[in-house]
């Protein structure tokens, strides 16, 4: 589980599950508009994107539902995140948020009404909602608990069930059965793969180093099976690659992208240095998971309007 260093913390282009309508608008976020008119009520998020200073050119951004340049933000975990704060965030930046992820099973601690209010608010802004990898805990309680968990996640209004096994050793065929079970429930399965044993709990780097790592070819083979089973995107765990390591394993993302393609994966990158590196190396349309506190900084970088010495004025798109 990527955790940003040095910033405040609290935190796809996909079709909607059956029975949940989504915006049908396609195209790109306009780089130029003649005037800015704020809508009275959010309809499909800030999809209309009448922005301030419309005469200034920025990188074009695809409208939702996106398959590239997808941003997932972390919800409550390192700090609480309630309805009022989330509404402020989505009112100002909802056009750039594709999904929100509850981390660490945080929703299991909250009153049901609070959870459904947060999910409903996200849907008002055309933002999908993911459970995060809490199923790892549920799996330890047996098959009946897994089925009840999936049923309850659907009833609560979740769109995505993340399927991570960073702490567990589970047969590949069992993992695949979980993907199929989630799909049968009408939800989207988002498997998480990585190379680090014991990943997902902000474990110290020395402890993770002692656990060892998996072979990247094994992880890619698993991801291929999940994609063949209908998963539209794979989450790539940051631990062992850019988090809790003494030296970044930049060869790992390269192998993943070269084999699976850029649109099929989302990289955990909840650290400005990390998401800047991904954009510098793979462009502004790489799919990224960041903390909710970083959405403005990330979007300034994607749009090409701001950055650091190594990125300022260098992040561009061409849609000619």
- What does the pLDDT look like over 272-304, one tens digit per residue? 999 999 999 999 999 999 999 999 999 999 999
- Residues 180-201 as b/e (b if ≥16 CB within 10 A, e otherwise) read ebbbebebbbbbbbbbbbbbbe
- pLDDT for 200 equals 64
Looking at residues 118-134, what average pLDDT do you find?
A: 97
β-sheet bridge partners, residue 100: 73, 129
Structure tokens at 78: 């390192």
* Contact partners, residue 33, CB within 8 Å, separation at least 6: 49, 50, 51, 54
Q: How far apart are CA 294 and CA 270, in angstroms?
A: 8
Name the percent of the chain in helix, strand, coil, to the closest 5. Answer: 35, 10, 50
Whether 274 contacts 252, CB under 8 Å: no
- pLDDT, residue 28, reads 54
Residue 39 pLDDT > 70: no
- Measured between alpha carbons, how far is residue 192 from residues 167, 217, 232 in Å? 12, 15, 12
Residues in Cβ contact with 263 at an 8 Å cutoff, skipping those fewer than 6 apart? 13, 67, 68, 233, 287
Residue 166, pLDDT score: 76
% of the chain surpassing 90 pLDDT: 70
Checking if the pLDDT of 179 tops 70, the result is yes
More confident residue, 276 or 201: 276
| pLDDT tens digits along 232-245 | 899 999 988 998 88
Q: Check residues 213 and 64 and name the one with the higher pLDDT.
A: 64
Find all residues with CB under 8 Å of 155, minimum gap 6, and list them: none
Q: Kindly report the CA angle at 255 between 254 and 260, in degrees rounded to 5? A: 105
Contacts of 52 (CB under 8 A, 6+ apart): 36
Task: Note the pLDDT of residue 98.
Answer: 98
Tokens of 308: 């650091």
Report whether 46 contacts 263 (CB < 8 A): no
Asked if residues 291 and 7 have their Cβ atoms less than 8 Å apart, the reply is: yes
For residue 208, pLDDT over 70 is answered with no
Mean pLDDT, range 130-143, rounded to an integer:
96
Contact in structure between 236 and 264 (CB atoms under 8 Å): no
pLDDT in tens, 72-107: 999 999 999 999 999 999 999 999 999 999 999 999
How far is the C-alpha of 297 from the C-alpha of 160, rounded, in Å?
A: 25
Query: Which residues, 6 or more positions from 309, have their beta carbon under 8 angstroms from its beta carbon?
Result: none
Tokens for 82, please give them: 């309630």
List the beta strands (DSSP E) in 50-93: 61-62, 71-74
Which two tokens mark 203?
Answer: 């474990």
Whether the pLDDT of residue 26 is over 50: the answer is no
3-state secondary structure of 10: coil
Distances (CA, A) of 184 to 56, 150, 162: 46, 10, 15
Mean predicted lDDT score pLDDT of the chain: 86
The domains found in the chain, sorted by start residue, are 44-303 (3.20.20.70)
């Amino acid at each position: 589980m990527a955790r940003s260093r040095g910033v405040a913390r609290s935190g796809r282009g996909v079709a909607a599950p059956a029975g949940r309508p989504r915006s049908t608008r396609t195209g790109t976020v306009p780089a130029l508009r003649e005037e800015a008119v704020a809508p009275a009520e959010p309809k499909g998020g800030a999809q209309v994107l009448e922005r301030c200073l419309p005469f200034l050119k920025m990188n074009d951004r695809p409208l939702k539902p996106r398959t590239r340049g997808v941003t997932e933000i972390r919800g409550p975990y390192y700090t609480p995140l309630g309805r009022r704060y989330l509404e402020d965030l989505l009112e100002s930046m909802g056009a750039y948020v594709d999904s929100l992820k509850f981390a660490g099973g945080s929703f299991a601690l909250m009153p049901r009404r609070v959870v459904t209010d947060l999910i409903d608010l996200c849907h008002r802004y055309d933002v999908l909602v993911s459970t995060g990898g809490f199923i790892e805990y549920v799996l330890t309680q047996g098959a009946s608990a897994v089925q009840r968990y999936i049923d309850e996640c659907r009833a609560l209004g979740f769109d995505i069930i993340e399927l991570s096994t960073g702490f567990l050793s589970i047969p590949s065929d069992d993992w695949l059965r979980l993907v199929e079970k989630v799909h049968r429930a009408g939800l989207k399965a988002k498997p998480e793969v990585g190379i680090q044993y014991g990943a997902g709990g902000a474990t110290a780097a020395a402890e993770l180093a002692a656990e060892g790592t998996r072979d990247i070819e094994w992880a890619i083979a698993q991801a291929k099976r999940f994609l063949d089973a209908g998963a539209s995107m794979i989450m790539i765990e940051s631990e062992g690659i850019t988090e809790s390591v003494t030296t970044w394993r930049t060869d790992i993302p390269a192998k993943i992208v070269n084999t699976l393609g850029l649109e099929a994966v989302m990289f955990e990158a909840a650290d400005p240095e990390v998401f800047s590196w991904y954009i510098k190396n793979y462009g502004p349309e790489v799919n990224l998971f960041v903390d909710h506190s970083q959405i403005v900084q990330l979007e300034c970088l994607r749009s090409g309007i701001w950055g650091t010495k190594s990125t300022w004025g260098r992040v561009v798109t061409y849609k000619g």
